[in-house]
Structures are given as C-alpha cells and as structure tokens.
Amino acid sequence: MCGITGWIDWEQDLSQQQPVLEQMACTLKERGPDREGYWFSPRAALAHRRLIVIDPVGGKQPMLFTQGEQTYALTYNGELYNFRELREELRARDHVFRTHSDTEVLLHAYVEWGEECVNHFNGIFAFAIWDEARQRLFIARDHLGVKPLFYAQVGNAIVFGSEIKALLAHPLVEPVLDDEGMKAIFVSLFMSGGGIFRDIHELRPAHCATFTRERTHIRPYWQLVSRPHTDDLETTAEYIRSLLKDTVKRQLIADVPVVTLLSGGLDSSGVTSLAAREFQSEHKVLDTYAINYANSEEHFEGNAIRPSIDRPYVEQVARYLPTNHHDVVVSTEELLENLLVPMRAHDRPKMGQIETSLYLLFKVIKQNATVALSGESADEVFGGYPWFHQEHVLNTPTFPWIAARMTPRGDNQFMNMGTPFLSPALAQELHPHEHMQRLYQEALAEVPRLEGESPRDARIREIFYLNMTRFLLLLLDRKDRMSMATGLEVRVPFCDHRLVQYVWNIPWEMKTVDNIEKGILRRAFSGLLPEEVRMRRKSAYPTSFDPAYTQAVRRWTLEILNNANAPVNSFVNVEFIRQLAEHPDEETRGENAYFLFDYLIQANAWLQEYHVVTP
C-alpha cells in the first residue's frame, strides 16, 4: 500500500510548488515508508509515498504514460488482484509494458478505456490520474471502500490525499469544524465517512469523480443489484467456496512476505485455511498472528457479544492446518501509552483500545512481513452480528448496531451519544436525534429493492445494506489506518465485490442454514477447519478485561474534566461523564463506558493537536 496526494490548480503555475507538495507527502510517510516521488506540470502536482509490495524496481510513482502529445500521470494506492489478466488483455490491444507492476496495468487501462477502466478492476484502490492534454483530473475508490481518499475544492484548486492530514498540510485548507463536522465527532461517531472539516470531502466507495476547470462530476460506477437467487443450497455453498479460494489465491500475490490474522473465529480461520493450503502447494508454511492481552483472561466474563475467549480456538486451527503461529500479547501499559495513535492516524477521535491493540499487533507483524490477510467484512456480507437475529432490532427504525444496545426504555446514551453525552447547549444546536434519523433515511433510500419480496425479507435486506455501506466502513477505516500507521498492508478477501454481489441475493433462510448465523459460509468451509471452530458461535474482536485499564482511563478522564482549559469540556456534558467516571459499578457501565472514556480522551487531544477552529 501507499499514500497518495496532489494539487490541481487551473489558475496558478504549480511547477515550482515542490515545497508544498513535499509537506503534504511527508504527512503520509508511515503509509509509504520505502520511497517518495513527485511530478509537476503547470496545472498539476502529484506525489506518492510507496510501500513496496509488487515489482520493487518497476513500480515507481507517480507513473507517466506519454503518447504523441498526450501525457497521463498516475498516483495510486492499492492492489489490482486481476492485473495479470488485464495485462494480457491490454497486450492483445497493442499495449506494451515495461514493468511487472499493477501500477502500469492500471495506467494503461485508463489509456484504453478512460473512466470506464474502473469496471475492469478487481482489487482495493484509491488513485488519481491527471490527463495533461485534456487538463482533467480523474479519481476513483474501490468497490467496498478498503482504501481511503479525501479531496477539497477551494477556489480554483483541488487538493486530494489518502488521509485528511495531507490536505491540512496545504495552505489553502484549514481545520474548521462546522455544524456537520461537530455532528460527525459528537453525535454520529459510530458512523464513518466524511471529511469532518469544512470543504473536505471523502469520496464514497465505488465512486469516481472527474474535475475540469468548468465542472465537477461525481458518480457511482458500481452498486449492488437485487435479483432472485436461483442456485440451490449445495451449488451456492460450492460457488462461495470457489470464489473465496480464487480470491485468497489472488491476494497472496506479493514480492514480500505474506501472513494471515487468526482469531479462531470462522472468518479468519477460513481465510487462513485457504491461504495455508496455497502455501503447502508450494512447500511453505504460513505464518499466523493473533492478539492477546496481559492480565486479561483471568478476568474474562463471557457475554452475548463475547461468549468465549479466542486462544483455545486459535491453537486448534494452528495445529490442524498447521501454521507457524505467533501470539502477540499486549500489556495495559502499551494500550495506554498508544491511546492517541488512532486519533492521529484517523485525524479524528476513534475507538480507543480496540484500535490501539490492532496497531500494536500490526507493529509486531511488520517486523516479519509486509502483507497480511484478514477476515474482515464476513459478518456484514453473511449476517453474522447478533443484530441480524434480534426481533427488536428489526423493528427499530434506526441503525441496527445502535438499536442492538438500546435500553428497554428505547434510549441509548453510549452508541448514539446524543443528548446525555453532549453539553445541553450543543445538543440543542445539533439536534442529535434528528441528525441520526436523517442519516438513517438517506441510507434506506439507497437500498436496491427486490420486487415481490415479503416485508420481513425486505427489512433484512435493509439491515444488510446498512451494515455493508455504513458499519463496514468503520471497520475498514480502522484496519487501514492502524495497519498503514505501521507500514503494513492488510488485504480483505471477503470484500471481493464478486462475492459481495453474489451473497447479497442469497435468501435469509439459506444464509442461516443449519439454524446458525453465517450457516451458508460454514457449509462452504466444510472440511477445511476443525468442526468445533467451523461451528463456533460469533465472538466479537477481543478487548482487555484487565481492570487496570478501565481504572486508568477513568482517572485520565477525570483529569480532563477537572481541567478548566481542556477544550473538550466545551462540547460535552461534564457532570454526566463525571458520574460515569466516579461510579464505575453502576448498571450500564462496562465496555460502553470505557469506550466513552477512550473517545473523550482522544477528542480532547485532537482539539488541541489539530488546532481545530469552531466558527
């Protein structure tokens, strides 16, 4: 993976603007620690920070293609998993290649098909191409949003980059937090997307945009299509298996060491099994990695979200395949020392220790590998979360992950923050409930309906769409930022858009065959895993159960609340949060409460470090 950034201006000459572009690119050095590159023309300045994965010599960027009077310049973050087939197709169309990189294939695909090139790609990507002859910028982002891309339009200029920090390094872009930004930070924090700051936008997944002096055109190039599913149960399971086998094989292609993440759950274990078999065919042993927490297992108490600890299942899979397994144990001290890393990686406050632990895991993996495969997104695609199976969630008109944690009274002071969390003045200004309802209705309006579907099936289709287009982005953002903060590329086979489209139309009764969540995926993995692992119930990503962690973040929170100069206190209900911090044993504390503490700590540091301006 890499970091990309650039600046287009139809009024001023950018040929001598290298200091500004270098400043923008420098903010992305963790994403691309191996090499940097720049390209300038009077109207365009492109930069690239490279993490070398394929073709170390030939994949240098920005990459140029010149034909007669036409010049195309590309800066690209990602991987095309079908680049070998595309290269052969383009060769048949008289294209000549000088490297073995997927970068050159992407550039030639644009030369051949123009903006329709995105319809030929299977991969994870965010890229920008400057067409010098037409004075036109084209940007695009992959189907599910694995790779990020932000842009800002300020006057006659377009500034873009893999992360918001690259845009903020440009003198035209300021960290101004308007009402929409405040809603994103203090109300809809369990929603992803958006540029947070005024004038900054995030290109949505499966979208592309064209910028010229005269106009801006943004459009989707791919979307889910609803149609009747005609395959029987056996055919469906076999096709899923064949798709995943093909996807994993493609995603193992690299010129650097590749490993997998292994939690002992169905998803990561299935991906690991397929990857291990590919390794065995080449007489190699796959390395696998799992996260664990010091002083945590002795305090573990199972619940509906985490019914079991991972370690025994991880060990079963590692023995069964077998793999060369590594258990990465992180301490409470490490979690606390790195609590602000997610905020700096996302350019906004985020999920706290769940993200911090991933960062620490990826730091260890990076010592031995550059690419890892993960089981991310199977729950969204196949329906693995508890809220897919809870009647009260199906009947609640809001996002399901919010409804799933509502109290019997129907309120939710943690997941949908809202009035209790906000200062009374800010709550009155931002109208949190109305804001969340607007986001919810906007999402529902996009759902591709299937004519003749029963009301219940239509509702389940809505739940799937909300998860795949809203909740999944939270997890993909988390995985991208924490991995790239260490210079590690994480690939996600369950985000292959072919698989996502196929599973989208599988009926709910078939998805839950054998009366278990993700039943059809379990059928697809038959014979690939130990039965106890294949039939293991969903258990969420692990967190530390060490009481020392919650005690520490509670103390840290109280220090902020007691500091008259702490900027976050202007936005939150100080007394409400103080009650949570000072009375830890009351009902509804637990994980929700320490998430709130993690978030407030990061929000306070973010307001300070980013010099956030509120008009």
Domain ranges for the chain, please list them: 2-220, 233-381+475-534
Q: Using alpha carbons only, give the angle 149, 170, 181 rounded to the nearest 5 degrees.
A: 60
Tens of pLDDT along 430-448? 999 999 999 999 999 999 9
Q: How many residues does the chain have?
A: 615
| Spatial distance between the Cα atoms of 466 and 417, rounded to a whole number of angstroms | 19
Predicted pLDDT of residue 592 = 63
Beta strands in 322-396 (DSSP E): 324-330, 371-373
Rg value, the chain, Cα: 24
- 2, 117, 208, 495: which is the annotated catalytic residue? 2
Contacts of 230-236 with C-beta under 8 Å, sequence gap 24+, read 233/510, 233/513, 233/520, 233/523, 236/506, 236/510, 236/520
Q: What residue type is assigned to position 549 of the chain?
A: Y
Predicted pLDDT of residue 227 = 98
Query: Residue 541's pLDDT band (boundaries 50, 70, 90)?
Result: confident
> Which strands sit side by side in the sheet containing 324-330, from one edge to the other?
324-330, 287-293, 258-261, 371-373, 489-491
Containing 409, the helix (H) or strand (E) segment is none
pTM of the model as a whole: 0.95
Class of domain 233-381+475-534: alpha beta
Predicted pLDDT of residue 590 = 53
2 as an active site residue: the answer is yes
Of the candidates 255, 252, 254, 244, the residue with the CA atom closest to the CA atom of residue 280: 252
- What CATH fold (topology level) applies to the domain 2-220? Glutamine Phosphoribosylpyrophosphate, subunit 1, domain 1 (3.60.20)
Predicted pLDDT of residue 421 = 84
Predicted pLDDT of residue 352 = 87
Number of Cβ within 10 Å of residue 315's Cβ equals 15
Mean pLDDT of 368-390: 96
Number of Cβ within 10 Å of residue 70's Cβ equals 12
Q: Is pLDDT at 453 greater than 80 in this prediction?
A: yes
Tokens of 567: 């900027």
Tens of pLDDT along 332-360? 999 999 999 999 999 999 988 999 999 99
- The most distant pair of C-alpha atoms in the chain lies apart, rounded to whole Å, by 73
Tens of pLDDT along 459-469? 999 999 999 99
The owner of tokens 């329906």 is: 383
Q: Is pLDDT at 21 greater than 50 in this prediction?
A: yes
Tokens of 391: 């009647």
For the chain, the straight-line distance linking the first and the last C-alpha, in angstroms and rounded, comes to: 36
Predicted pLDDT of residue 383 = 97
Tens of pLDDT along 163-179? 999 999 999 999 999 99
What are phi and psi for residue 506, nearest 5 degrees? -70, 130
Predicted pLDDT of residue 585 = 61
Instruction: List the single range of 60-64, 301-305, 324-328 with lowest mean pLDDT.
Output: 301-305
- The Cβ-side half-sphere exposure at 605, using a 13 Å CA radius, reads 23
Of the candidates 22, 9, 104, the residue with the CA atom closest to the CA atom of residue 61: 104
Q: Is pLDDT at 479 greater than 90 in this prediction?
A: yes
Residues 6+ apart with CB under 8 A from 308: 302, 536, 537, 539
> Would you give the DSSP letter of residue 198?
T
More confident residue, 491 or 406: 491
Q: Is pLDDT at 415 greater than 80 in this prediction?
A: no
Q: Is pLDDT at 13 greater than 70 in this prediction?
A: yes
Tens of pLDDT along 488-522? 999 999 999 999 999 999 999 999 999 999 999 99
Q: How would you classify the pairing of strands 371-373 and 489-491?
A: parallel
Q: Is pLDDT at 588 greater than 50 in this prediction?
A: no
Residues 6+ apart with CB under 8 A from 283: none
Query: Residue 410's pLDDT band (boundaries 50, 70, 90)?
Result: very low
Average pLDDT score over the chain: 93
Number of Cβ within 10 Å of residue 563's Cβ equals 12
Predicted pLDDT of residue 545 = 82
| Spatial distance between the Cα atoms of 61 and 64, rounded to a whole number of angstroms | 8
Query: Residue 414's pLDDT band (boundaries 50, 70, 90)?
Result: very low
Predicted pLDDT of residue 543 = 84
Residue 493, preceding bond cis, omega within 30 degrees? no
Predicted pLDDT of residue 308 = 81
177 alpha-carbon distance from chain centroid: 23
Predicted pLDDT of residue 295 = 80
Instruction: List the single range of 222-231, 320-329, 398-407 with lowest mean pLDDT.
Output: 398-407
